[in-house]
Amino acid sequence: MKTKRVIYEGRVQGVGFRYTTKDLARGYDVIGTVRNLLDGTVELIVSGENGELADFLRELREDSVVAHHIKSVFEEEIAALPDLKGFSIVS
């Protein structure tokens, strides 16, 4: 099981990014959170087995609703967060 923190930059707020992320997560065996940050970026914290995690992140980057809004992506592996359950949008 891996946990990643991903920051998406671009016009990623106000375009349905968080809701699309949550919808896509339903199709994968992943758990996590997604939220808007004050600097205009979106932060995704997501955990899953390596293959599921990679497939989910790839589909999100290629999704027709959000892909053209993403200008850059910063991704890092972080320590597992024991409180993660399901997948939710954090305000």
Please indicate whether residue 22 or residue 84 has the higher confidence score (pLDDT): 22
Asked if residue 38 belongs to a domain, the reply is yes
Question: Is 25 domain-assigned?
Answer: yes
Is residue 85 one of the residues assigned to a domain? no
**CATH code of residue 39:** 3.30.70.100
pLDDT computed for residue 52 by the predictor: 95
Q: What is the pLDDT of residue 64?
A: 84
Please calculate the CA angle 65-56-61 and round it to the nearest 5 degrees: 40
18 is a catalytic site residue = yes
Domain count for the chain: 1
Q: Which of 18, 35, 50, 61 is catalytic?
A: 18
Please tell me which residue in 26, 36, 50, 58 is annotated as part of the active site. Answer: 36
> Which pLDDT score, from 0 to 100, does residue 47 have?
96
pLDDT in tens, 12-55: 999 999 999 999 999 999 999 999 999 999 999 999 999 999 99
Q: Specify the pLDDT at position 32.
A: 96
Distances (CA, A) of 81 to 16, 32, 33, 46: 25, 9, 11, 9
- Tens digits of residue pLDDT in 54-78: 999 999 999 888 889 999 999 999 9
